[in-house]
Structure 1
Amino acid sequence: MKTFKSIFFIFLISVSIISCSSDDGAPGVDGVDGAPGAQGPAGTANVIYSGWINAPAGTPETIDGTSGLSTSFAVPQLSADIMAKGTILVYMSFGSGVNIYTLPYTSTAGGYANTITAIASLNTIKIFRFKHAADGTTVGLPSTLNYRYILIPGGAAAAAAKTAKLDYAKISYEEVCAHFNIQP
């Protein structure tokens, strides 16, 4: 009887060891993944932009010894941090919204080359137009011109640069709007 009990005991231990093996069989299926969702619209990476702005007509001003006409408009989001680390883009349209130019913009008007440029300062963008002639006269800066700004904080430009290197001086207004998902 002792032999039978011993054999039975060995049998039970063997069965226990075999059933407690680390080989648990084939892995189970957790569930079926669903179909991928639609791609969401590209974010603006904290980019700040305005609608088209009609600034007042230019008034005479001299900047760095250059006579011209200037006008300005408030940009409350234009912070010292954006000025130090970010990118400030300003565009101009002759009122139709069709032909859009990046500032600074140089053309011939009144028989002389002249430039319209943007000068950023804390919370303000000044538009300045000057003639490339030393005769002391200026070319008009009418209120029919429209302006739009795009402010790209330093971190946003760095994040955007990872996906595409942008040279803002060489790409069009439309390309900038498309890159940052801005309604033109």
Structure 2
Amino acid sequence: MKKFFSFVVFPAIACIMLLGSCKKGDTGPSGPAGPAGNANVIYSNWIQTSNWVKSTTSVGSGKVTYYFDVASNDLTQDILDKGTVLVYAVLYNDPDGVGIAKLLPSIYYDGGSAGTQYRFQYGLFLNKVRIICDVVPNGIPATSNKVRVVIIPGGVSGVITGRSATPPDYSKLSYEQVCEMYNIRPY
């Protein structure tokens, strides 16, 4: 028992005393800044455009206008004044390819023919994004189109590997690049 006490207990007590008696030193220097994240970037799920409404106020020769509203309490006056709102669409029967997310505004021809043209755009309002589709000469936008709204508050910058953190020209970036920049799940 005496050997056990000498070999185990005494060294254990000595270690506890040494560790417990260490003087706390000054705080070390701060580390480098981490990569920019998307803490303030807000994005919707993909929303199916199943409720197109025929406009009674947007009239023009040779076209029919429809709209689809996306409610968003995140679309505040501050966002409208200082932020950036991007609207992407995956369009049914898009001749550029199925499942491609396009930044609006965008125009496509049904099935690639010049017979019917769909002009997609959007308007921003307090708490609402209005997706607008002018159909030339006539037709109805597909209810299987999908849209996604990305809200970037003023002062938020993203980073793509190898690029600076200056505000980008979103029209020159693919949807996938914007997702990478703001850490957004693409689909």
Give 1:26's aligned residue: none
Give 1:48's aligned residue: 42
8 Å CA contact 1:93, 1:147 repeated in 2: yes
8 Å CA contact 1:60, 1:69 repeated in 2: yes
Give 2:109's aligned residue: 108
Structure 1 residue 102 displacement after superposition: 0.9
Give 1:58's aligned residue: 52
Paired residue for 1:69, among 66, 69, 77?
A: 66
8 Å CA contact 1:87, 1:154 repeated in 2: yes
SS at match of 2:80: helix
Length, aligned pairs only: 146
8 Å CA contact 1:57, 1:141 repeated in 2: no
Which structure has the larger Rg? Answer: 1
Cα distance change of structure 1 residues 42 and 78 upon mapping to structure 2, 3 Å threshold = same
Q: Deviations over 1:128-166 (max 9, x none)?
A: 110345xxx3x3222211110111111215x87961441
Letter in 1 for 2:54: P
SS at match of 2:74: coil
Give 2:122's aligned residue: 118
Letter in 1 for 2:42: I
CA distance in 1, matches of 2:179, 2:172: 14
TM (norm. structure 1) is 0.67
Give 1:130's aligned residue: 134
8 Å CA contact 2:118, 2:141 repeated in 1: no
Structure 1 residue 45 displacement after superposition: 4.7
CA distance in 1, matches of 2:170, 2:75: 18
Tell me, which stretches of 5 or more residues in structure 2 are unaligned? 1-24
Give 1:155's aligned residue: 155
Q: Deviations over 1:77-135 (max 9, x none)?
A: 001111111111000113698311111110112713331111111111111110345xx
Give 1:90's aligned residue: 87
SS at match of 1:163: coil
Structure 1 residue 42 displacement after superposition: 4.2
Tell me, which stretches of 5 or more residues in structure 1 are unaligned? 1-29
Q: Deviations over 1:43-77 (max 9, x none)?
A: 11511111111233312104554441111121110
CA distance in 2, matches of 1:165, 1:175: 13
